[in-house]
Amino acid sequence: MKILNNLLRSGVAALAIATAAGAAHAQTSVPLVESGSSLLYPLFNLWVPSYTATHPGADITTTSTGSGAGIAQSIKGLVQIGASDAYLSDAMVKAHPEMLSIPLAISSQAVNYNLPGVTNLKLSGPILAGIYEGKITKWNDPAIAAANPGVALPDHVIIPIHRVDGSGDTFIFSQYLAFSDAGWASTLHYGTTVSWPAVSTAIGANGNSGMVTAAAANPYSIAYIGVSFADQAAKAGLGQAALLDKHGEYVLPTAETIGNAASSVAASTPADERISIVFTPGENAYPIVNYEYAIVSSHQPAPAIGSAIRDFLGWALNDGNNMSFMSKVHFLPLPAAVKALSQAQVDKIQ
Amino acid sequence: MKFRPFRVSVLLLSLLIPAALVAVVFFLVAYSGQAILFNGLHFMTQISWNLGDLYSDPVTVSGISVPPGANYGILVFIAGTLASSGLAILIAVPLSVGAAIFLAEAVPHRIRPALSMLVELVAVVPSVVFGLWGITVLIPLIGRYLSPSGNGYGLLAASVVLALMITPIIASTLYDALLQVPKENRESAFALGATHFEVVAKAMLPMVRTTLIGGIVLALGRALGETMAVLMVSGGGINILPTSLFSPISTIASFIVSQLDSAESDPTNMSVRTLSEIALVLFLITLAVNATAKLLSSGALNVRKRQS
Amino acid sequence: MSASASLKVARSAQELRRLTISKLGWVACGLALALVIAPLVDIVGVVTVHGVAALSGKLFTQTTSGTANGLLNAIEGTFIITLFAMLIAVPIGIGAGIHLSEYGKNRLGGVIRFLSDVLTGTPSIVLGYFAYIVFIIGFGWGFSLAAAAITIAILIVPYLARITELALQQVPNPMREAAYALGAKDHTVVFKVVLPAASAGVITGALLGLAISVGETAPLIYTAGWSDFTWDGRFTHAPVAYLTYVIWTFIDQPDAHSHALAYAAAFLVMLVVLAINIAVRLVVRRTRLV
């Protein structure tokens, strides 16, 4: 029993040290926790140090847990700011009318390919739907050839790579397929997880890092990868596909084409801002673009918490919403009209 | 009978284990109740899995509110779980037995602690690191030398990673047991003219058989429950049954992790309830595996008794 | 004469076969050890190389801010979660192991043993979600040390119990009989005779439990939460940081700096457990329990 005694004794000592360390970090401010989307996480990590540097006493923890967890924890009051790639559904809003979906920034996504010898691939929603449904199985399929005249497409089986974990990237990718392909819309819908059809060559990979690794390791593969990982994808030798927009043009993801998509829906964004900006009608507009949301309750348990959230989100919408932050994660600031709508929602937080 | 405070207190402590299990099972049954009603029995035999459209208004199916298109079948994940854990055990047991014997009997005393510590150290390596090693080292190897399609993700990769993770459990319990074998038993076997290897294989191994089986069952439990590493290397098979070593698979445990986040945005909560039901199924599998192991070990012992 | 000669030949042929099989057996065992060790050396090596490269004083003096700065909060958090989990689990696990080995050769013991094995098969994510619904939401504890420590304790108790049992079973019965014959009581037999004799195995079990609790990720995500600050002394309503979160989350970030921190965390996890491992063995050797 000497061991137990020793363990116990060292335990008590450790407890004393830990408590002392805890006491040293006396809290005068309101601690806020942000939890949710792994896509938004890097942006929050840029914002929080800048914000705390100019707002002494601010106490904000950022965590990456997944959009679904962020939403659920925010609704239950476990965290103050849920970060989500998806706005709340009608049913969710009906059940929790106090919850706000507030866009903070604009993200996008690339469709990457590992295709030896091909560097300028063009793809459309219906082609991608066909590939992920297992209806288009080879790179030299007539549908792909028709979209890429003059490109020597290999006679090789396509390896479609998808996310195994729930992800906002899957959400916006499947929205693009659902909005541009009626067959996909009726059977597979869209969501942070999709019931991927049985394709024997398909690979499920974990996280955006896992997507880059899997695509790089498998020639003739195709993958959808969040734009924050654009540098990694390029370093791994992956090509970026030009995607067919609503106008019938093939568009590459650039600041200009993503901006076009965002500004084309700015005017039609409703007051509660729950709207998809995937596959928008704008000209020269990249089709896979998304609002990144803070999911926040308008009824906080204490006035001090409400004002702390208002201060931080207000800062994020103004000082935080510029290219010096956004370009580091390949995001874009909100158009002015949307910024105003978001600010109006932030002001509702009590 | 005399009151024995010590025996009663350790009994009470040991009863906490079944109590915890009962609490977890009770919770899962209560939580998944509606899902059990909704899913029925074909839940276990159906291949297709679809959370449904979580962003449309829920529909009511036979009195239960669910997302439109929701359809839960878990045969694929049951198959993936059994195949990967079974294969992992097939790989791990001979390796661990060999390694433990060599470590206990053939390695010079001076380097033995270092090697055994290394084996134990593996139990400490976080499973994400195993997963990373899997995708950066193992999967390219499988893709280059074994897989006909060149794709290394799938059943084999998951099984090898699992085998690596559970080998230390089996090897270190067996190693400790081998060191405990009384000197007399070894010496009498030597006296009969047995070679060193025969002493180990015929005199010592049978003595530690229960320990070995206990270690294997523990390891199997760990393999069945492993999540992160499997998620990273298994290829995430869904809606498709594995047909070869290189087929994409999902195990029940890793599948629960991969779906939980999306399930939390289901306004009807049916997705999370169904995931709880899957956890119950995993319990049943673990139960069956343990029962089989028990039968096997007692059967083996009976045979030996008859012979002697 | 010829008969005995052929007998001799037969015997030596048989002898040769036995010797060959023995040789082959050793080769196979050595090969098995090599096959087990090689990937492990590779894994441990990769973590060590990347981890050492990322080490700096900052890791131990600063708390995390996003994916930057140090790991003080995570190191401290892992330490206290593990400490409290072990404080709960070790007495229960070893007590249960004693019961199973010494007095559990009956139907009740069989049932407990069986259910304990089933509990080890529970995926940690299920325990995590159970704790999330019961402790975090149901009891209203919020993300907290108490929920995390209890969840980890539930996770490791069955391992402790079964490994303790397996270790105690290896102690020869005559030792117990001798002690009882000298008039020793139950607890004296267990604590003075059986446990000391099996201490190596019991400690292996405790260390495995410790290793699992330091290395777990899934259940902590749903119970401990995460905090950029050090523990403030509260058992509930205060999220706690831990090292495996850093590994799990930072490794999936696009920048090299986050990856470096993730490997540093993985290396620290290994180092911490290795240090405890060595320390406990030294303590045990000094107190002459082995």
> B236 and A203: CB-CB below 8 Å?
yes
Q: Is the pLDDT of residue A14 over 70?
A: no
Q: Lowest-pLDDT range, A24-38, A158-172, B147-161? A: A24-38
The CA distance from A24 to the nearest CA of chain C, in Å, is: 8
Same domain, C175 and C249: yes
> C80 and A228: CB-CB below 8 Å?
no
- Which residue in the set A95, A189, A192 is minimally distant from B69, CB to CB? A189
Cβ-Cβ contacts under 8 Å between A and C: the total is: 107
> A206 and B54: CB-CB below 8 Å?
no
* Higher-confidence position of A3 and C213: C213
Across chain A, mean pLDDT equals: 89
Same domain, C165 and C182: yes
pLDDT over 70, % of chain B:
94
- The answer to whether A89 and B54 have CB atoms below 8 angstroms apart is yes
Given this model, what pLDDT does residue A24 score? Answer: 41
Given this model, what pLDDT does residue C4 score? Answer: 56
> C22 and B169: CB-CB below 8 Å?
no
Q: Is A307 on the interface with C (CB under 8 A)?
A: no
Same domain, C42 and C68: no
Across chain B, mean pLDDT equals: 87
> B98 and C130: CB-CB below 8 Å?
no
Given this model, what pLDDT does residue C272 score? Answer: 78
As a whole number of angstroms, the distance between CA C131 and CA B23 comes to 11
As a whole number of angstroms, the distance between CA B263 and CA B251 comes to 17
> C226 and A49: CB-CB below 8 Å?
no
Which candidate in C83, C207, C285, C289 is best for mutational testing of the A interface (most A CBs within 10 A)? C83
Distance of CA B201 to CAs B101, B189, C42, Å? Answer: 9, 11, 30
* Higher-confidence position of A337 and A11: A337
Same domain, C10 and C64: no
- Which residue in the set A61, A229, A232 is minimally distant from C228, CB to CB? A61
Q: How confident is the model at residue A212 (pLDDT cuts 50, 70, 90)?
A: very high
Given this model, what pLDDT does residue B300 score? Answer: 47
Task: For residue C232, give its domain range.
Answer: 58-289
Cβ-Cβ contacts under 8 Å between B and C: the total is: 284
Mean pLDDT of C138-165: 92
- The answer to whether A278 and A179 have CB atoms below 8 angstroms apart is yes
Mean pLDDT of C207-231: 85
Q: Is the pLDDT of residue A19 over 60?
A: no
Q: Which residues of B touch A67 (CB under 8 A)?
A: 261, 265
pTM beyond 0.90: no
Q: Is the pLDDT of residue A7 over 80?
A: no
Which candidate in B1, B2, B10 is best for mutational testing of the C interface (most C CBs within 10 A)? B10
> A25 and C252: CB-CB below 8 Å?
no
Q: How confident is the model at residue C9 (pLDDT cuts 50, 70, 90)?
A: low
As a whole number of angstroms, the distance between CA A82 and CA A37 comes to 8
Q: Is A221 on the interface with C (CB under 8 A)?
A: no
**Tokens 């069989």 label which residue?**
C110
Q: How confident is the model at residue C154 (pLDDT cuts 50, 70, 90)?
A: very high
pLDDT over 90, % of chain C:
34
Given this model, what pLDDT does residue A285 score? Answer: 95
From A165, A135, A168, A181, select the one nearest A289 (Cα to Cα): A168
Max mean pLDDT range (A114-118, B168-172, B183-187, C168-172): A114-118
* Token code pair at residue A327: 């370009």
Q: Which residues of A touch C68 (CB under 8 A)?
A: 45, 49
Which candidate in A75, A88, A195 is best for mutational testing of the B interface (most B CBs within 10 A)? A195
As a whole number of angstroms, the distance between CA C179 and CA C77 comes to 44
Q: How confident is the model at residue C157 (pLDDT cuts 50, 70, 90)?
A: very high
- Element (H or E) spanning B61, and its range? strand B59-61
Given this model, what pLDDT does residue C7 score? Answer: 58
The CATH number of the domain where C79 resides is what?
A: 1.10.3720.10
Cα-based angle C267, C268, C272 (whole degrees, multiple of 5): 125
Q: How confident is the model at residue A257 (pLDDT cuts 50, 70, 90)?
A: very high
Q: Is A95 on the interface with B (CB under 8 A)?
A: yes
Given this model, what pLDDT does residue A18 score? Answer: 45
* Higher-confidence position of C2 and B35: B35
Given this model, what pLDDT does residue A15 score? Answer: 47
- Which residue in the set A19, A33, A228 is minimally distant from C239, CB to CB? A33
Which chain C residue lies closest to A9 (C-alpha atoms)?
C87
Same domain, C165 and C216: yes
A111: three-class secondary structure by DSSP: strand
Domain count, chain C: 2
Which chain B residue lies closest to C16 (C-alpha atoms)?
B195
Given this model, what pLDDT does residue B3 score? Answer: 73
Q: Is the pLDDT of residue C127 over 80?
A: yes
**Domains of chain A listed by start with CATH number:** 2-107+291-346 (3.40.190.10), 109-262 (3.40.190.10)
Mean pLDDT of A256-272: 92
Same domain, C136 and C75: yes
Q: Which residues of A touch B151 (CB under 8 A)?
A: 159, 201, 203, 218
Given this model, what pLDDT does residue A33 score? Answer: 92
> A213 and B237: CB-CB below 8 Å?
no
Q: How confident is the model at residue C6 (pLDDT cuts 50, 70, 90)?
A: low
Given this model, what pLDDT does residue B116 score? Answer: 73
Mean pLDDT of A220-230: 92
A188-204 pLDDT, tens per residue?
A: 889 999 999 999 899 99
B136-167 pLDDT, tens per residue?
A: 899 999 999 998 888 899 999 999 999 999 99
Same domain, C64 and C46: no
Same domain, C73 and C109: yes
As a whole number of angstroms, the distance between CA A154 and CA A156 comes to 5
Q: Is the pLDDT of residue C277 over 80?
A: no
Across chain C, mean pLDDT equals: 86
> A199 and B234: CB-CB below 8 Å?
no
Same domain, C42 and C65: no
Mean pLDDT of B12-30: 92
The CA distance from C192 to the nearest CA of chain A, in Å, is: 9
Q: Is the pLDDT of residue B228 over 50?
A: yes
Q: Is the pLDDT of residue A1 over 90?
A: no
Q: How confident is the model at residue A135 (pLDDT cuts 50, 70, 90)?
A: very high
The CA distance from C2 to the nearest CA of chain B, in Å, is: 25
Same domain, C169 and C278: yes
The CA distance from A97 to the nearest CA of chain B, in Å, is: 13
B neighbour chains, 3+ CB pairs within 8 Å: A, C
- Which residue in the set A65, A72, A191 is minimally distant from B51, CB to CB? A191
Q: Is the pLDDT of residue B170 over 70?
A: yes
C neighbour chains, 3+ CB pairs within 8 Å: A, B
Which chain A residue lies closest to C217 (C-alpha atoms)?
A65
* Higher-confidence position of A13 and B246: B246
pLDDT over 70, % of chain C:
93
The CA distance from C39 to the nearest CA of chain B, in Å, is: 8
Q: Is the pLDDT of residue A8 over 80?
A: no
Beta strands in chain A (DSSP E): 31-36, 59-64, 81-84, 99-114, 122-123, 159-163, 203-205, 221-226, 239-240, 242-244, 250-251, 289-297
Distance of CA A138 to CAs A117, A131, A277, B244, C110, Å? Answer: 16, 9, 31, 21, 57
Same domain, C142 and C191: yes
Same domain, C33 and C138: no
Mean pLDDT of A255-270: 92
A115: three-class secondary structure by DSSP: coil
- Which residue in the set B133, B196, B286 is minimally distant from C46, CB to CB? B133
Mean pLDDT of A206-218: 92
Phi, psi of A288 (to 5 degrees): -105, 90
- Element (H or E) spanning C65, and its range? strand C64-65
Given this model, what pLDDT does residue C286 score? Answer: 60
From A245, A225, A244, A241, select the one nearest A233 (Cα to Cα): A225
The CA distance from B55 to the nearest CA of chain C, in Å, is: 24
Mean pLDDT of B119-146: 85
Q: Which residues of A touch C79 (CB under 8 A)?
A: 14, 18
As a whole number of angstroms, the distance between CA A338 and CA A317 comes to 10
- Which residue in the set B13, B99, B128 is minimally distant from C96, CB to CB? B13
Tell me the torsion sign for CA atoms A214, A209, A67, B252: positive
- Element (H or E) spanning C69, and its range? strand C68-69
Given this model, what pLDDT does residue C290 score? Answer: 40
Q: Which residues of A touch B260 (CB under 8 A)?
A: 68-69, 166
A80-121 pLDDT, tens per residue?
A: 999 998 899 888 899 999 999 999 999 999 999 999 989 999
